[in-house]
Structure 1
Amino acid sequence: MGGLEVVAQRVASGLAARGHRVEVLTSASPGRVGRTVEDGVVVRRMRVANWFERRGIPFPIFGPSLLRHAWAAVRRADVVHVHDMLYVSSWVAALLCRLTRTPYVVTQHVGMVEHPSRVVRLVQWLVLRTVGTLVLTGAARVLPISPVIEQWTLSKLPRTRTQVLRNGVERTRFRPPRPGEKEELRRLLGLPQDEVLVLYVGRFVPKKGYDVVSRAIGEAYRLVFVGGDRPADVPESEHRLYLGALDPDVTADAYRACDVFVCASVGEGPMTPMEALLCGEAVVVNADPAMRALGLGDGVVELEVTPDALRDLLTDLARDPVALDTLRARGQEVARTIPTWNAHLDVLEAVLEEVAGGGG
Structure 2
Amino acid sequence: MYLTSTYTMTASLRRTIGLLQSGLTRGQTEVTTGRHADLGLALGSRASESYTLVAARATIQTTLASNSMLTTRLDSTQVALSALLSDAQDIRSTLVGAQTNGGDPGAIVTQAREALTTFVAKLNSSNAEGFLFGGVNTDQEPLRNYFADPPQANKVALDAAFVAQFGFSQSDPAVSTITATQMQNFIDGSFSSLFSAASWKTDWSRASDTPIRSQVSLSASVDASVTANEPALQKLAAAYTMLSDLGTGNLAKDSYGALLKSAMVTIDSGIRALTKTQARLGVIQSTVKSASETMTIQSSTLESQLNGLESVDPAEASTRVHGLMTQIETAYALTARISQLSLIKYL
Fold conserved between structures, TM > 0.5 = no
Instruction: Give the shorter-chain TM-score range.
Output: under 0.3
Higher helix residue share: 2
Kindly name which structure, 1 or 2, has the bigger radius of gyration based on alpha carbons.
2
TM-score in terms of structure 2 length: 0.27
